């Protein structure tokens, strides 16, 4: 069970990293360095950006629950 939780946590870690990197930069940070400041804002976040936010938050909740479960299993 512990090994399965560790593998699941590893997969979640990679998914969280990918999802966070997919978010649109808000400007003023490292996103400007990689061309994030070049894009024009078209009046707020799109439906895709809001869905990406929801998926990321949901995945982070699962990630936190997995860490707690792994801590209790050890």
Give the tens place of pLDDT for each residue, 20-74.
998 877 765 555 566 655 555 555 568 888 999 999 999 999 999 999 999 999 8
**What is the per-residue DSSP string for 6-17?**
HHHHHHHHHHHH
Whether residue 66 is contained in a domain is answered as: yes
Residue (of 22, 47, 46, 49) closest to 36 by Cα position = 22
With vertex at residue 42, the alpha carbon angle to CA 39 and CA 44, rounded to the nearest 5 degrees, is: 110
Per-residue confidence (pLDDT) for residue 41, from 0 to 100: 54
Within a domain: 73: yes
For residue 10, the enclosing domain spans 1-22+47-74
29: in domain: no
Q: Determine the pLDDT at residue 19.
A: 92
DSSP secondary structure code for residue 41 in this structure: P
Q: Is residue 62 included in any domain, yes or no? A: yes
Q: Domain total for the chain? A: 1
Q: How many residues does the chain have?
A: 74
The confidence score (pLDDT) of residue 51 equals 92
- In this prediction, residue 48 carries a pLDDT of 87
pTM of the model: 0.72
Sign of CA dihedral 42, 43, 49, 53: positive
Does any domain span residue 31? no
């Amino acid at each position: 069970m512990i090994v399965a939780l560790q593998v699941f946590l590893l997969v979640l870690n990679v998914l969280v990293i990918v999802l966070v990197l997919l978010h649109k930069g808000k400007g003023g940070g490292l996103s400007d360095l990689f061309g994030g400041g070049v894009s024009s804002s078209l009046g707020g976040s799109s439906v895709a950006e809001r869905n990406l936010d929801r998926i990321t938050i949901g995945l982070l909740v699962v990630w936190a629950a997995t860490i707690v479960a792994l801590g209790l299993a050890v």
